[in-house]
Structure 1
Amino acid sequence: MSIQRELETLIKEDVLIEIEEYIKELKTMIESNNDTIDANEELKQMEEMKKDFEDILTDLVHGDIKDEEAKELLDEIIEMRKEED
């Protein structure tokens, strides 16, 4: 599997799903009047992060991300996910 394909799969099958689930949780929390400035700010940041990952997918589909950049992005995502655990 090419590094671009591996990155695409990770984003589609893991990262975006996790982000979307977290966005739903934040929206539920905000809607239930447990909203705080922090929750609203976190929601904004997560929506921006989701857009960034969708942009990366678009670039991958169009072949705009080369091996080296794909490897760097993949490594960053893996590291970020390790830090969350």
Structure 2
Amino acid sequence: MRRSLVGWSVVVVSLGLALVFGVLYHAMYWRWRGCFDDAGRCFVPGHGVVYHAQSGVVYLSLTLVCAGLALIGFVLMARSRTVKAPRPDL
């Protein structure tokens, strides 16, 4: 029981982190992808902020790692629930 609770907690936390990093990817890179110059910078005068193209790589990789971890955890937890090891007859 405790092991399954910890496993499902890891899945939920990983999904939450994947969602957060996905939102950051959209906010810091995807919205401004047409604005980047040759140096990989985008200055938005209205906000007074400089966005960097490298942030897209960082946030997308973190999103994919967390989503992959959640998927693997989900598959392992679902499989452990349906497949039980046979009990030896004594």
Please classify the TM superposition score into its range, dividing by the shorter chain length: 0.5 to 0.7
Q: Which has the higher strand share?
A: 2
Q: Given the alignment, which residue of 10, 19, 24 partners 1:24?
A: 19
TM-score (norm 2): 0.57
Alignment length, in residue pairs? 61
Q: Which has the higher helix share?
A: 1
Counterpart amino acid of 2:67? Answer: E
State the Cα RMSD in Å.
2.0
| Structure 1, unaligned runs of 5 or more | 67-85
Give me the identity figure in percent.
2
Q: Which has the higher contact order (CA 8 A, sep 6+)?
A: 1
Q: Which runs of 5+ in 2 are unaligned?
A: 30-54
> Which residue does the alignment assign to 2:38?
none
User: Quick one: which amino acid aligns to residue 62 of structure 1?
Assistant: T
Q: Corresponding residue for 1:46?
A: 66
